[in-house]
Amino acid sequence: MSKIDKKLEQIKLQHDITEILREDNGVSCHFDYHVNLVSDSETIKLNVLTYNQRHNEYMLLHTVKGTSSLDCLSKVKSFLVSQSHDSEEYSYSVKWKKKDEETEHVSYFVGSSREEVEIKFLHEKNIDDYSYEIYQNPVA
């Protein structure tokens, strides 16, 4: 695959992921790539972030590691497509607010544990700036 073909495939995968998330809950999606120079098998780490303009915050949706941006994006797309069928993942609600604001928000996460959801919610945030409660949603 040529360099131009790889770039086009990367853009198409990012577009597909963005559309899945926009159609699902109206958030925008952003891709935060990190290079790992000490690994031959997991040279790229991708954090997929969502931004919700209603509460003006971004949150971590999912993290994957892979051999290239295309590998990571393919893993993210597969995760999103199969998310509703994965028995190891649970749905959680996080009721939260910034400590200096009155408005309370509810955000929804998928994770294997309450701890994983807390990590996703607090990604790159100062814990002292938020009050929050995490609830596992009932399984339908």
Q: Using one digit for the tens of pLDDT, what is the confidence trace for 12-65? A: 999 999 999 999 888 999 999 999 888 778 899 999 999 998 899 999 999 999
Question: In the prediction, which pLDDT does 59 show?
Answer: 96
**87, pLDDT greater than 70:** no
Cβ contact 83:117 at 8 Å: no
Cβ contact 66:42 at 8 Å: yes
β-bridge partners, 32: 47
Sheet holding 44-52, edge to edge: 28-35, 44-52, 57-66
* 89-101 average pLDDT score: 93
Question: What is the torsional sign of CA 106, 124, 133, 20?
Answer: positive
Q: What one-character DSSP code corresponds to residue 34? A: E
Sheet holding 90-98, edge to edge: 105-111, 90-98, 130-136
Q: The pTM is what?
A: 0.87
Q: What one-character DSSP code corresponds to residue 54? A: T
Structure tokens at 23: 């159609």
